[in-house]
């Protein structure tokens, strides 16, 4: 069966078509994505602006044409923090539905964490024991932990790399005083939920997912994506601590010259590094294994589970 998933993130909008059935690994068939940066199409009232809506409608229409061409039997569409937290988020989704027919559902932060956790559990398997998953997106940070496929704890923070850059880290590069203040604010925010996170117990395996984590690992020497998803990659806390002050002193242009850093995301890299370092410090994680699966795969796997129960 062919399934399609439309993922409307804060930075990137992405549609993935996979050949899948329950109990088998989903095989990617077609991918269509663009860096729409919905979080940057937000006006002073916290609403997605007209340009953002038009771009989203265009992308959704393109996705549905691809779905039809590729013989997709079932489509799941979801939006995350950029629209979830927009004052006109429901209205935006209604306009997209009316103009294109795309039915996009809002995922809560906790649901993001749970579905990403499911994907990581399936990738690493039961032998990985108690899992802890740290996922840094454009708009939010999700942390989940547990022994099963459904985590014992799932927490979301408004600490995505794009959001922190846009709302806190002005300057290219930002001043040392500002970097220190943002570092403090990030850690204070995460620390508020430390009791809930630590109650889940010490993990047997700690994992990082999504583009920010993959990029930080690549900058620190991990294999490029061209070598395939099966290659093991990781992020060390000590190396990350050394990298943060280097990034803080660089302009976005200088960061874009680092291995694996795109020009479009270079301005967000410092914020992502500050958030990743804070999470690893506060959770006392020396190392994160990098998982190639994240939220999109979790949505697909969850849908296959639900279909089997029908």
Domain boundaries, the chain: 2-107, 109-295
Q: How far apart are CA 69 and CA 58, in angstroms?
A: 17
Q: Do domains 2-107 and 109-295 have the same CATH topology?
A: yes
For residue 8, the model assigns a pLDDT of 94
How distant, in Å, are the alpha carbons of 39, 67, 142, 282 from that of 3?
A: 27, 9, 25, 38
For residue 59, the model assigns a pLDDT of 95
For residue 45, the model assigns a pLDDT of 83
The domain at 109-295 falls in which architecture?
2-Layer Sandwich (3.30)
For residue 99, the model assigns a pLDDT of 95
For residue 309, the model assigns a pLDDT of 81
> Is 42 strand, coil or helix?
strand
In what helix (H) or strand (E) does residue 121 lie, and over which residues does it extend?
helix 109-124
**Mean pLDDT per 10-residue section of the chain, whose length is 310 residues:** 93 93 91 89 87 94 95 94 92 95 94 98 97 96 97 96 94 97 98 91 96 97 95 98 98 97 95 98 98 96 89
Question: Looking at the domain that runs over 2-107, which CATH code has it been given?
Answer: 3.30.420.40
Q: How far apart are CA 87 and CA 288, in angstroms?
A: 35
User: Beta strand 74-79 with 105-106: parallel, antiparallel or unpaired?
Assistant: parallel
User: What's the residue count for the chain?
Assistant: 310
Q: Is the peptide bond before 173 cis (omega within 30 degrees of 0)?
A: yes
For residue 46, the model assigns a pLDDT of 85
């Amino acid at each position: 069966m062919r399934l399609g998933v439309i993922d409307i993130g804060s930075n990137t909008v992405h549609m993935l078509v996979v050949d899948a059935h329950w109990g088998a690994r989903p095989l990617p068939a077609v991918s269509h994505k663009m860096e729409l940066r919905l979080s940057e199409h937000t006006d002073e009232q916290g609403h997605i602006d007209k340009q953002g809506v038009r771009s989203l409608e265009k992308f959704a229409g393109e996705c549905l044409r691809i779905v039809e061409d590729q013989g997709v039997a079932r489509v799941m569409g979801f939006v995350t923090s950029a629209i979830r937290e927009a004052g006109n988020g429901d209205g935006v989704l209604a306009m997209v539905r009316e103009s294109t027919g795309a039915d996009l559902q809002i995922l809560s932060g906790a649901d993001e964490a749970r579905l990403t956790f499911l994907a990581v559990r399936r990738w690493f398997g039961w032998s990985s024991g108690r899992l802890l998953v740290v996922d840094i997106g454009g708009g939010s940070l999700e942390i989940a932990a547990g022994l099963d496929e459904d985590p014992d704890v799932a927490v979301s923070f408004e600490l995505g790399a794009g959001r922190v850059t846009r709302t806190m880290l002005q300057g290219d590069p930002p001043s040392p005083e500002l970097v220190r203040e943002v570092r403090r604010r990030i850690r204070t925010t995460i620390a508020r939920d430390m009791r809930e996170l630590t109650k889940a117990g010490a993990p047997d395996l700690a994992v990082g997912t999504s583009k920010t984590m993959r990029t930080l690992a690549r900058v620190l020497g991990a294999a490029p994506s061209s070598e395939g998803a099966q290659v093991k990659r990781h992020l060390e806390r000590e190396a990350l601590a050394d990298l943060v002050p280097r990034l803080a002193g660089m302009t976005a242009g200088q960061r874009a010259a680092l291995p694996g850093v795109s020009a479009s995301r270079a301005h967000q890299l410092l914020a992502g590094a500050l958030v990743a370092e804070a999470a690893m410090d506060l959770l006392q994680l020396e190392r994160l294994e990098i998982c190639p699966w994240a939220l999109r795969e979790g949505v697909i796997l969850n849908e296959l589970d639900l279909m089997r129960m029908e």
